[in-house]
Amino acid sequence: MTITQAEIKQIRSLREKKFRDAYGLFVVEGEKMVQEALLSDFEVVRVWRRDEIGEAVMARISQLSTPSPVLAVVARPEPAGIVLQRSLCLGLDGIRDPGNLGTILRIADWFGVETVFASDDCVDLFNPKVIQASMGSVFRVRVVTADLVDISRRFREAGMRVYGTFLDGKNLYQETLAPEGLVLMGNEANGIRPEVAAEADARLLIPSFGRSARETGAGTGAESLNVAVATAITLSEFRRR
């Protein structure tokens, strides 16, 4: 299989969001990830293998520091519409780190959360680092770009609770948790923005069991958890009940 200079140029351009938007394409790399794409409902446009195009060419088109044996170009699906189901869903408010978003999708997949609502200022779903960190879950978890204020109100109108994670919330392990509803997770630096936080009817806290800096008088101590870690702990507790 040969690859043209035009194809090389296009694949390399897909590292940038503006070109992913323009072409409606994104890149997937690695045997497992490409296989996940082929088994999904996504349209795989073309697959290139290192042993067919050569190591030097694969190094030119790869988006990884160490080029993988196989790379695929995949068509982005049409944006998912808002369909409310009586299930447990996530709402992501301003997640900016691609590694965090990809990991959260993997966590959602593990805990059977089929739909994730994401604010429009979250990092691009098809960012290469999001794709890699999701380990294939991007092909199974439905991500819907949505106004989280509106979505929260829809959940409450449907008789489901809206949970949020906050540093001043109530102990996650002591609160009553329903098997369905919306769980809001906030931006890495600023948490859930005020207008979205106002829609939560249950404020949850993952308690710390370590000695804080305030208690010890020291200048160190964990003040919060990474948002992906916090998502895993929270969803685990919901599924444990």
Which CATH number characterizes residue 161's domain?
3.40.1280.10
pLDDT tens column, 155-206: 999 999 999 999 899 999 999 999 999 999 999 999 999 999 999 999 999 9
Instruction: Identify whether residues 44 and 125 lie together within a single domain.
Output: no
CB-side exposure of 90: number of CA atoms within 13 Å? 32
Kindly give the residue spans of alpha helices, DSSP state H, lying in 73-145: 98-110, 128-134
Q: Please give the Cα distance from 23 to 18 (Å, whole number).
A: 9
| Residue numbers in the chain where pLDDT is lower than 70 | 1, 211-222
In a domain, 82, yes or no: no
Q: How confident is the model at residue 213, as a pLDDT?
A: 47
Q: What would the pLDDT profile of 202-224 be if each residue is shown by its tens digit? A: 999 999 887 554 454 555 556 77
- Residue that finishes a domain, picked among 48, 75, 102: 75
Q: Choose the final residue of a domain: 22, 40, 75.
A: 75
How many C-beta atoms surround the C-beta of residue 65 within 10 A?
5
Q: Which domain holds residue 186?
A: 88-240
Q: CA 35, CA 136: separation in Å to the nearest integer?
A: 9
Residues 22 and 132 in one domain: no
Same domain, 136 and 234: yes
As a whole number of angstroms, the distance between CA 220 and CA 213 comes to: 5
Domain count, the chain: 2
**pTM here?**
0.91
- Is residue 116 located within the same domain as residue 178? yes
Q: What is the pLDDT of residue 82?
A: 82
Which of 22, 49, 75 terminates a domain? The answer is 75
Please say whether the beta carbons of 16 and 63 come within 8 A: no
Is 80 contained in some domain?
A: no
In a domain, 92, yes or no: yes
Give the pLDDT of residue 210. Answer: 76
- Residues 94, 61 share a domain: no
